């Protein structure tokens, strides 16, 4: 375990920590999703990673389930499951403090990364968070982002942020 500090609070993080992308949570929660069986198998059976979720991923997953898929019931199920100790999922705080200038600095970095690479906010956030944890906690190898849509993460890989990418459909992990 290593310590990751947010606003003076030390958080124990295992070296096998992996951040879950939104598409994994949506696929896991929605039985009609094309990747549901992959997500379910991965979350329930894998033993390589301690899975963790960042705040914007939860918001985006619920937004997609409720807004796009009209499945409020599945969003509620997902939230209850995430809050259950039996899920085994670590709920991570934002990696920055609550001071407005600090939030603006992080948001500015996310926006710059979004614009530079033509990404959505949550992907930019995950890349920055993975990089920050990797750097601050001296993770070797780099922290993993688990997804079933590699395109944005591969396109940005090696452009400044340190992270690895795990594809649930193939089981491959890309990166150092």
Domain residues of the chain, as ranges?
A: 17-174
CA distance 134 to 90: 17
User: In the CATH hierarchy, which top-level class contains the domain 17-174?
Assistant: alpha beta
144-147/17-20 β-pairing: parallel
- Residue 50 class from Cβ within 10 Å (0-12 exposed, 13-18 middle, 19+ buried)? middle
Task: Please report, in tens digits, the pLDDT of each residue of the chain (176 residues total).
Answer: 676 776 666 888 999 999 999 999 999 999 999 999 999 999 999 999 999 999 999 999 999 999 999 999 999 999 999 999 999 999 998 777 777 888 898 888 888 988 999 999 999 999 999 999 999 899 999 999 999 999 999 999 999 999 999 999 999 999 97
CA dist 25 and 8 (Å) reads: 30
List C-alpha distances in Å: 47 to 11, 42, 44, 50, 167. Answer: 21, 9, 9, 8, 15
């Amino acid at each position: 375990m290593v310590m990751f500090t947010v606003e003076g609070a030390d958080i124990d993080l295992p070296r096998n920590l992996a951040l879950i992308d939104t598409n994994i949570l949506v696929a896991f929660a929605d039985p009609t999703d094309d990747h549901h069986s992959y997500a379910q198998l991965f979350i329930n059976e894998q033993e390589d990673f301690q899975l963790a979720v960042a705040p914007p991923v939860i918001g985006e997953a619920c937004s997609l389930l409720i807004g796009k898929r009209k499945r409020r019931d599945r969003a509620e199920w997902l939230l209850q499951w995430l809050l259950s100790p039996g899920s085994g999922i670590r709920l991570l705080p934002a990696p920055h403090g609550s001071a407005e200038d600090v939030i603006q600095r992080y948001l500015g970095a996310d926006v710059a990364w979004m614009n530079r690479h033509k990404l959505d906010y949550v992907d930019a956030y995950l890349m920055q968070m993975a990089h920050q944890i990797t750097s601050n906690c001296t993770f070797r190898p780099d922290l993993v982002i688990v997804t079933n849509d590699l395109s944005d993460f591969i396109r940005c890989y090696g452009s400044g942020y340190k992270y690895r990418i795990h594809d649930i459909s193939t089981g491959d992990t890309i990166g150092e």
